[in-house]
């Protein structure tokens, strides 16, 4: 065998070994394919490094491929994720910064992704699909502590205002007045006890009067019923009286139509009779004997003797 053939074989074998190593290093037939996603973080990403893991509900699905400030807003950080193709990244998927154990190594946790939510797509004019973010636990705790400290500061200022010299003097004066009132009440303890006893008796009498009042109210109720009944009877009587008055009115009307003309005629006939009776009475007064012997003839007057009837 010639040395040239051996040398060629060694070179070929070395090349094959080098290509195999490179192929295995790149994953070979089991190489994974990744899709790039962008996340806009509004908080500090301290502790997060390149190639930090990206987990979906605790499962490793990718790596952090880029960390840089947003050129248009320096307070925002752009995070570029390389996520395994086929991972269900949807429109409601959310990225949160978390720390792992006590080491403080930061990583990205993905969550969400309802079944009926559509897959996340690239928006018009954008380069990568953008995953929504929400504040991390440390950011939320920082906001809570900031609010608590602000409220404590405000409370401290209010307490200092309450405990000013003027308020302390007023509080001291109020305590002195309360002590004076307490001494006065203690000095008149017997009178207060007596008043309380009298008040208890008054309440007891009031209770008894209230009990009697119930019977009085019942009596008043019965009296009211009796008055109502009497009113109903009076109403019935009034109705009967109205009917009687109507009947009497009809009788009076009939009397005036039928009887009054007869009375007028009778009175007309009585008038001559009255005149005759008056003449008879006057004649009897002049000559009472006329009732027994009759009326005498009146003597003839002068010049009437020779006249014939």
What residue ranges do the domains of the chain occupy?
Answer: 32-134
Q: Which of 131, 128, 129 is nearest to 110 (CA)?
A: 131
**Chain-centre distance of CA 291, in angstroms?**
116
In the structure encoding, which two tokens stand for residue 171, read together? 């509080």
Q: What is the pLDDT tens value at each position of the chain, 309 positions in all?
A: 567 777 777 788 888 888 877 776 665 545 678 889 999 988 888 888 898 999 998 899 999 999 999 888 888 999 999 999 888 889 899 999 988 766 667 889 998 878 888 988 988 888 899 999 988 887 788 888 888 988 888 888 888 777 778 877 888 888 888 988 888 888 888 888 888 888 888 888 777 767 766 676 677 677 667 767 776 776 676 666 566 556 655 655 665 666 666 666 776 767 777 777 777 667 666 666 555 555 555 555 565 554 444
- Say if CB 63 and CB 89 are below 8 A apart: no
In the structure encoding, which two tokens stand for residue 116, read together? 């009926």
Q: Facing residues of 105 across strands? A: 100
- CB neighbours (10 Å) of residue 199? 10
Question: CA-CA distance, 130 to 128, in Å (whole number)?
Answer: 6
Residue 103's pLDDT is what? 63
Global pTM reads 0.44
- CB neighbours (10 Å) of residue 88? 13
- Say if CB 67 and CB 46 are below 8 A apart: no
Angle, helices 165-187 vs 189-286, to 10°: value is 70
Locate the DSSP E strands across the chain: 34-41, 53-56, 59-70, 73-84, 94-100, 105-111, 130-133
Q: Please, what's the b/e burial string for 77-86 (b: 16 or more CB within 10 A of its CB; e: otherwise)?
A: bbbbbbbbee
The string of DSSP letters for 285-303 reads HH-TTHHHH-PPPPPP-TT
Residue 309's pLDDT is what? 41
- Say if CB 135 and CB 43 are below 8 A apart: yes
Question: CA-CA distance, 234 to 35, in Å (whole number)?
Answer: 106
Residue 146's pLDDT is what? 86
Burial of 109: CB neighbours in 10 Å, binned 0-12, 13-18, 19+: middle
Burial of 67: CB neighbours in 10 Å, binned 0-12, 13-18, 19+: middle
For 41, list phi and psi in degrees, rounded to 5.
-105, 130
């Amino acid at each position: 065998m010639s040395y040239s053939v051996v040398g060629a074989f060694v070179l070929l074998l070395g090349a094959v070994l080098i290509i195999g190593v490179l192929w295995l290093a790149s994953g070979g037939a089991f190489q994974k394919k990744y899709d790039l996603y962008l996340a806009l973080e509004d908080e500090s990403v301290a502790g997060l490094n390149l190639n930090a893991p990206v987990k979906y509900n605790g499962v490793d699905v990718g790596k952090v491929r880029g960390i840089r400030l947003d050129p248009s807003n320096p307070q925002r950080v752009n995070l570029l994720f390389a996520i395994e193709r086929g991972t269900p990244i949807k429109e409601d998927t959310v990225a949160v910064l978390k720390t792992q154990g006590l080491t403080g190594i930061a990583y990205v946790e993905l969550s969400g992704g309802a079944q009926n939510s559509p897959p996340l797509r690239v928006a018009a004019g954008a380069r990568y699909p953008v995953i929504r973010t929400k504040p991390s636990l440390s950011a939320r705790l920082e906001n809570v502590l900031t609010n608590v400290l602000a409220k404590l500061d405000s409370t401290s200022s209010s307490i200092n205002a309450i405990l000013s010299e003027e308020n302390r003097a007023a509080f001291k004066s109020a305590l002195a007045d309360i002590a004076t009132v307490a001494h006065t009440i203690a000095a008149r303890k017997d009178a207060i006890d007596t008043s309380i006893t009298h008040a208890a008796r008054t309440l007891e009498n009031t209770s008894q009067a209230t009990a009697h009042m119930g019977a009085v109210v019942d009596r008043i109720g019965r009296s009211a019923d009796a008055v109502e009944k009497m009113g109903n009877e009076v109403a019935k009587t009034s109705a009967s009286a109205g009917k009687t008055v109507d009947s009497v009115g009809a009788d009076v009307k009939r009397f005036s139509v039928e009887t009054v003309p007869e009375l007028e005629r009778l009175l007309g006939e009585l008038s001559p009779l009255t005149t005759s009776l008056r003449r008879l009475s006057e004649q009897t007064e002049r000559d009472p004997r006329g009732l027994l012997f009759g009326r005498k003839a009146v003597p003839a007057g002068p010049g009437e003797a020779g006249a014939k009837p």
